[in-house]
Amino acid sequence: MLHQWSAQSGQTPREPGHLPESEDLWEQEMEWLRASREPLRSLPYAMMDKRLIRKMREPEGMQMTRWQCWQQKQQTMGQRLGEVARRLAWGFGLWKGALYEIGGLFGSGIRSYFTFLRFLLLLNLLTVLLTASFVLVPLAWLHTQGPGPTLNFTALQCPGSHQAQTYIPRFHNQLWNVLTGRAFNNTYLFYGAYWAGPESSSAYSIRLAYLLCPLACLLLCFCGILRRMMKGFLRRPGLGQDYGVPLSAKVFSSWDFCIHLRDAATIKKHEISNEFKVYLEECRRRQQVQQDTPTQRACRLLSYLRVNLLNACLVAGGISAIFWATKYSQDNKEESLFVVLQYLPPGVISLVNFLGPLLFMFLVQLESYPPSIEVNLILIWCVVLKLASLGMFSFSLGQTMLCIGRNKTSCETYGYNACDYQCWENSVGEELYKLIIFNFLLTVAFAFLVTLPRRLLVERFSGRFWTWLGREEFLVPKNVLDIVAGQTVTWMGLFYCPLLPLFQSIFLFLTFYIKKYTLLRNCRTPPRLFRASSSTFFFQLVLLLGLLLAAVPLGFVVSSTHSSWDCGLFTNYSAPWQVVQELVALRLPLSGQRALQYLSSHAFGLPLLWLLSHILTVCIAQSQANARAIHVLRKQLVWQVQEKWRLVEELSRLLQEPGSSESLIPDSPRFRASHPRFSGPGFWSPGSPGPESPARDPSTRTPPWLSSSYPGSRDSPGPRFRFPSGTEL
Amino acid sequence: MGGSGSRLSKELLAEYQDLTFLTKQEIVQAHRRFSELLPRDKQNVEDSLRERVSFEDILSIPELKANPFKERICKVFSTAPSRDSLSFEDFLDLLSVFSDTATPDIKSHYAFRIFDFDDDGTLDREDLCRLVNCLTGEGEDTQLSASEMKQLIDNILEESDIDRDGTINLSEFQHVISRSPDFVSSFKIVL
C-alpha cells in the first residue's frame, strides 16, 4: 500500500537504494498509529485519514467480543456525560450569545470581565443555596419563634444622655426604610431574627448550621477561585528561567480568532503593533539602563521610592478619612433629620476610590517608568486602596460597636457597646447592606447619568473639547475592582446578614446587562487591551485577597467576641465558637472527643509541621535538580545538532572525492528528498534547512527542495502527508 | 429547505461526533452553513457531502472574513489535490480544531502549519517575517520597520530556537506555546 502511494504521488523518486529506508519509517509510523490508544479526534489528520486509521485499528473481519462492545459503549456514554457536566459547570450556557457578541466585537480581554461576572454570580447562587438548605429550610420546618427583647437596661451605666433604646426608630419615608435596611430588621435577612432553643443531643442544631455555613461557603469559594486561577496559569512547568510569558509565546498567540468584524480586526492589528513597538522600546531601555553608572542607578531608585511613598501617604490619608466618616456616622446615628448621614461612609469610600486612582496615575506618570511597569504599579495601588478602605471600614465599625483597640466603660459589662447597640450584629449587617445598595446605585447612576450623556454630547457637538473628551473608555481593571469590592462586602456580611448573597446575585445579574449596554452603545475600546489570561489570573488574585480580607474579621468575631444578649442565636455564649465545643461534648462519644482534642493540640500540630517542611524541602530540591537537568539537556541538544551538520559536511566532502560518480551530494535535491525526516506523527517535514553550518546566516540560503527540480514543488509548495484512500488508488 | 432531504443521517452524525470535537448541534449547524455556500441545485445531503466549495466562497463567511490568516487556514485544511477548495469534511475538521473542546496539542499542531507560510515544516525567518506582517496589518503606521522586524525576530528565535539551527520546528513551537495561557482561548472559531 505504501509502495503504491509513493509511486503514485511521485514525491519520493525511485532510488532503489533508498526506498526501503523511507518505507521503514512509514511502517513505523503506521504501526505506532495502529497501536496507540489515543482517541481519533485528537489525531492531526484529515477526516478520510482518520477513517483509515480506525479501519486499521479494528479490521472489519475481527469480531469484537461482547465485553469490548460494552466497554466501548460505556466509554462513549462516559464521554457524553463528561461533556454535559462540563457545560453545566460552565454556567448552564448562561449569556452565551451575549458573550460571543462581545468577544467578536472587542476581543477576549473585555469578554473576560463578563465571564468573571458570570463566575461571581454562580458563586453567590451557590452560597444562597447552601444557606437556604442548611439554615432556612430547617428553621421554617421547626417553626420556632423566640421571645422579644428582655434585657434589663437599668443595670447599665450609660454615659451622657444616651438612653438605651428598646426599639429601633423607623424613618417616616418607606423608601428610606428599605434603603437603610430598617424595613427588614425582623426578617431573616438579618442576624437578629434568628432564634433557637437550648442545645439538645438529638435535634438539628440550627446554631451549628448558622455558624458553619459562612465558613463552609468561604471555603468553597476559596477552592473554586484557586482552581480557576491555576487552571490556565502554568500548563506545564516552565523552563525555570523566568515566570513571565516569553515574547515568542505572546507573538504566536496574539491574534484573537474570535474577532469577526473588520473594524475590530483593524483595532486589534493596531494594538498588536503597539505592543511590539513598546516591547522593543523596553528592550532598548533595559540595555541602556544596564549601562548606567552607580550614581544614576541610586538616583533612579530614590525617585521610585519617592513615588511609592507619596502613594502610600495618599492611601493612609484616604483610609483615615473613611475612619472618621464611619465614626461620625455612627455617633450621630439617630438624628432623623440628617438622613444623608446614613450613607456617609459608603459615600466617602466611593469618593476616595474615585479620586485615588486619578492621583496615582498623575503621580506615577511624573516619573519615567516603562509603560508596563507603570500600568501594573497603578493597578497595585488601586487594589491596595480598595482593600484597605474596606478593611478600615470594618475596623472602625468594630471599634464603635465592640470597643476594639480602646477601653470604654460601656463595653465592660457585656463585652460590646450595649448602651448604643441593642443588637450590634444587626447594625453591622445594616451598614454592609447599605454599602452594597450604594455600590449598585452608583453603577446605575454612572451608566445612565454620566456615560450616556457624555456619548450624546460628544456625538452632538464637534468642538475641540468634545473631540478630546470622546466617549468613555471601558476600563476593565476599574470595573473588575468594583465588583470585587462588592463581593468582598458580601462575604464580610455572611454572618450578620445571611441573605446578602441573594441581593448581590440580583445586582450582579442586572450589572451584566447594564455594563453590556454601556459597552456596546456608549464606550470605545481602550488603546491598550488587557490580555485575557493575565486578566483572569489578576482578577482571581484580587478576589482571593478580598476573600482573605473578609475571612479575618469573621474568624475574629466567631472566636472571640461576645454576641448580643438580646437577639440572635448565640445569646448565652461567650463567643459563637463555644457552640461547637458544647455540641462536641454533648453528642460525640468519648473516644471521638479525645481524638478531636488530640488533633487540636500541640502534640499533633508540631509533628505535622515538621512533616510538611520536610516535604517542602524535598520538593524544592527536586525542582532545582530538574532545572539543572534541563540546562544540561539544552546544551546537549545544541551540541548534537551542530555535530550532525558537521558529519553531513564531512560526508559530502568524502563523497565528492574523485571516483564516486553518483550525485549524492547534500546539495542535490534528490539526496534531500530521499531522506525524509519526521518531526511528529504524520507530519512531513523535510527537516531543518540546508546543509550549511548553523553559524552562517540562514536567511540568505535558498532551500534546494524549493527549487523547480524538486518533484513535489511542481504545483504546491510542499507535500502534505496523507494516507492513501480508496478514491485515490 | 426543510424536510429530510437536508438532514444528515444518524449514523453519519454519530461518526462525525466520534471523529471530531464537535457536538451534534454544531455539526448540524456547520452543515447548514456549508450548504448555503453551495449552488442552489446542489444543496441536498448527498451532493453537499461530495461537492467542494472554492476558497472565495469559504472566505466570505463572516467568521473568516476579517482574519489575516484566512487563506492559510483554508490551504492547511484543504484535501483537494490542487488545494484550492474545501469539502464538507474539511470544513468539519476546521471547526473541530478551532472548537472549544479541542486539545491544546492539536491546536498548536495546526497553528504551526498555519504559520508555516512556505510549507517546509519549519518556521524560518521569512515565515516569522510574514507572520508579523499579517499581525500588524498593512497600514503605514502599524508596520514595523526593517530594523525593528530584525530585532523582534532575533528575540523570538533567541527564546524559542532551542537547538540553535535558525528555525523553529514543531516541537519547539509546541513547547513555546505551552507557556502561553492565552493561546487556547484565542485560537477559537465558533459558528
Predicted structure pTM score: 0.75
CA dist., res. A323 & res. A338, Å (int): 19
Q: Give the pLDDT confidence score for residue A243 in this predicted structure.
A: 57
| Per-residue pLDDT tens over the stretch A351-405 | 898 888 888 888 888 877 777 777 778 888 888 999 999 999 888 888 888 877 7
Query: Is A82 an interface residue toward B (CB < 8 Å)?
Result: no
Residue A251 and residue B132 in contact, taking contact as beta carbons nearer than 8 Å:
yes
Dihedral pair phi/psi, residue A535, rounded to 5°: -70, -40
Q: Give the pLDDT confidence score for residue A690 in this predicted structure.
A: 34
Residue A687 and residue A677 in contact, taking contact as beta carbons nearer than 8 Å:
yes
Say yes or no for a CB contact (<8 Å) between B181 and A720.
no
Strand partners, A678: A684
Residue with more model confidence, B108 or A659: B108
Whether the per-residue pLDDT at A490 is higher than 60: the answer is yes
CA angle A623, A545, A606 (to 5 degrees): 55
Contacts of B184 in chain A (CB under 8 A): 232
Banded model confidence at residue A16, pLDDT cuts 50, 70, 90: very low
Banded model confidence at residue A660, pLDDT cuts 50, 70, 90: low
Nearest to A247 among B131, B134, B159 (CB): B159
Contacts of B86 in chain A (CB under 8 A): none
What would the mean pLDDT of A212-234 be, rounded to a whole number? 85
| Per-residue pLDDT tens over the stretch A243-270 | 567 888 889 988 888 888 888 888 888 8
Q: Outline where chain B has alpha helix (H).
A: 10-19, 24-37, 45-50, 55-58, 62-65, 70-77, 88-97, 104-115, 125-136, 146-160, 170-177, 183-186
Contacts of B65 in chain A (CB under 8 A): 260, 262
Banded model confidence at residue A669, pLDDT cuts 50, 70, 90: very low
Q: Give the pLDDT confidence score for residue A78 in this predicted structure.
A: 83
Q: Give the pLDDT confidence score for residue A147 in this predicted structure.
A: 58
A533: cell is: 489570561
CA dist., res. A7 & res. A686, Å (int): 18
What would the mean pLDDT of A444-465 be, rounded to a whole number? 86
What would the mean pLDDT of A126-149 be, rounded to a whole number? 80
Whether the per-residue pLDDT at A573 is higher than 50: the answer is yes
Residue with more model confidence, A33 or A219: A219
Q: How close, in Å, is residue B174 to chain A by CA atoms?
A: 10
Residue with more model confidence, B68 or A292: B68
Q: B53: which DSSP letter? A: E
Residue with more model confidence, A643 or A337: A643
Banded model confidence at residue A501, pLDDT cuts 50, 70, 90: very high
Q: State the CB neighbour count (10 A cutoff) for residue A425.
A: 25
Q: CB-based contacts of B36: which residues, under 8 Å, 6+ apart?
A: B43
Q: Tell me the domain boundaries of chain B.
A: 10-98, 104-187
Q: If you average pLDDT over each of A182-186, A204-208, A672-676, which comes out highest?
A: A204-208
Report how far apart, in Å, the C-alpha atoms of A432 and of each of A126, A436, B134 are: 20, 6, 52
B65: cell is: 472574513
Q: Give the pLDDT confidence score for residue A658 in this predicted structure.
A: 66
- Chain B residues 151-180 with CB within 8 Å of chain A: 151-152, 155-156, 159-160, 162-171, 173, 176-180
Banded model confidence at residue A10, pLDDT cuts 50, 70, 90: very low
| Per-residue pLDDT tens over the stretch A266-292 | 888 887 888 888 788 888 888 888 888
Q: Give the pLDDT confidence score for residue A257 in this predicted structure.
A: 87
Residue B159, SS3 per DSSP: helix
What would the mean pLDDT of A23-29 be, rounded to a whole number? 76
| Per-residue pLDDT tens over the stretch A636-654 | 998 998 999 899 999 999 9
Residue with more model confidence, A163 or A600: A600
Q: Tell me the domain boundaries of chain A.
A: 96-144+175-238+247-587, 603-644
Residue identified by cell 455600590 is: A439
Residue A30 and residue A56 in contact, taking contact as beta carbons nearer than 8 Å:
yes
Nearest to B144 among A246, A276, A634 (CB): A276
- Chain B residues 41-80 with CB within 8 Å of chain A: 62-69, 77, 79
Whether the per-residue pLDDT at A139 is higher than 80: the answer is yes
- Chain B residues 93-132 with CB within 8 Å of chain A: 93, 96, 98, 101-106, 109-111, 113, 115, 118-122, 124-126, 131-132
CA dist., res. A158 & res. A138, Å (int): 39
Q: Outline where A90-161 has alpha helix (H).
A: 96-106, 108-131, 137-142
Mean pLDDT of chain B: 87
Contacts of A270 in chain B (CB under 8 A): 137, 139, 142
Nearest to residue A533, comparing CAs of A93, A99, A104, A231?
Answer: A231
| Per-residue pLDDT tens over the stretch A99-112 | 878 877 777 778 88
Nearest to residue B181, comparing CAs of A232, A549, A720?
Answer: A232
Lowest average pLDDT, out of A325-334, A673-682, B94-103, goes to A673-682
Specify the CATH number of the domain B10-98.
1.10.238.10
Nearest to residue A673, comparing CAs of A659, A683, A655, A685?
Answer: A685
b/e map of A545-579 (b: 16 or more CB within 10 Å)? Answer: bbbebbbebbeebbeebbbbbbbbbbbebebbbbb
Banded model confidence at residue A509, pLDDT cuts 50, 70, 90: very high
Q: Best interface-test mutation with A: which of B20, B132, B176, B177 has the largest number of A CBs within 10 A?
A: B176
Contacts of A694 in chain B (CB under 8 A): 164-166
| Per-residue pLDDT tens over the stretch B120-178 | 999 999 999 999 999 988 877 788 888 989 999 999 999 888 888 889 999 999 988 88
Residue B54, SS3 per DSSP: strand
Q: Give the pLDDT confidence score for residue A326 in this predicted structure.
A: 86
A207: cell is: 446554631
Q: A287: which DSSP letter? A: H
CA dist., res. A550 & res. A334, Å (int): 28
Q: If you average pLDDT over each of A2-16, A177-191, A564-578, A625-639, which comes out highest?
A: A625-639
Banded model confidence at residue A691, pLDDT cuts 50, 70, 90: very low
- What is the number of alpha carbons within 13 Å of residue B13 lying toward its C-beta? 14
CA dist., res. A347 & res. A438, Å (int): 8
Say yes or no for a CB contact (<8 Å) between B169 and A685.
yes
Q: Give the pLDDT confidence score for residue A548 in this predicted structure.
A: 93
CA dist., res. A121 & res. A91, Å (int): 9
Q: Percentage of chain B surpassing pLDDT 70?
A: 97
Q: If you average pLDDT over each of A166-175, A286-295, A668-677, which comes out highest?
A: A286-295
Domain B104-187 sits in which CATH superfamily? EF-hand (1.10.238.10)
Q: Chain A residue closest to B153 (CA)?
A: A248
C-alpha of A349 from chain center: 25
Mean pLDDT of chain A: 76
Nearest to B93 among A46, A254, A641 (CB): A46
CA dist., res. A11 & res. A712, Å (int): 5
Q: Best interface-test mutation with B: which of A8, A47, A110, A648 has the largest number of B CBs within 10 A?
A: A47
Q: Percentage of chain A surpassing pLDDT 90?
A: 19
What would the mean pLDDT of A576-599 be, rounded to a whole number? 86
CA dist., res. B39 & res. B48, Å (int): 10
Lowest average pLDDT, out of A65-79, A284-298, B104-118, B155-169, goes to A65-79
Residue A237, SS3 per DSSP: coil
Contacts of A641 in chain B (CB under 8 A): 163-165
- What region does A403 belong to: left with phi over 0, alpha with psi -120 to 50, or beta? left
Q: If you average pLDDT over each of A111-115, B106-110, B160-164, B176-180, which comes out highest?
A: B106-110
Q: A296: which DSSP letter? A: H
- Chain A residues 110-129 with CB within 8 Å of chain B: none
* Residue type (1 letter), A687: G
Pairing mode of beta strands A472-473, A523-524: parallel
Residue with more model confidence, A395 or A65: A395
Nearest to residue A545, comparing CAs of A319, A262, A249, A221?
Answer: A221
Query: Is B84 an interface residue toward A (CB < 8 Å)?
Result: no
CA dist., res. A32 & res. A406, Å (int): 75
Banded model confidence at residue A529, pLDDT cuts 50, 70, 90: low
Q: Give the pLDDT confidence score for residue B81 in this predicted structure.
A: 86
What would the mean pLDDT of A22-51 be, rounded to a whole number? 82
Whether the per-residue pLDDT at A118 is higher than 80: the answer is yes
Residue with more model confidence, B51 or A626: A626
Residue with more model confidence, A621 or A113: A621
Nearest to B159 among A248, A277, A686 (CB): A248
What's the residue count for chain A?
A: 729
| Per-residue pLDDT tens over the stretch B2-49 | 444 467 888 888 889 889 998 888 899 999 888 888 888 877 778 778
Report how far apart, in Å, the C-alpha atoms of A674 and of each of A4, A660, A689, A691, B109 are: 16, 19, 15, 15, 25
Residue A315 and residue A355 in contact, taking contact as beta carbons nearer than 8 Å:
no
Lowest average pLDDT, out of A48-52, A339-343, A430-434, A467-471, goes to A339-343
Interface A:B, Cβ pairs < 8 A: 245
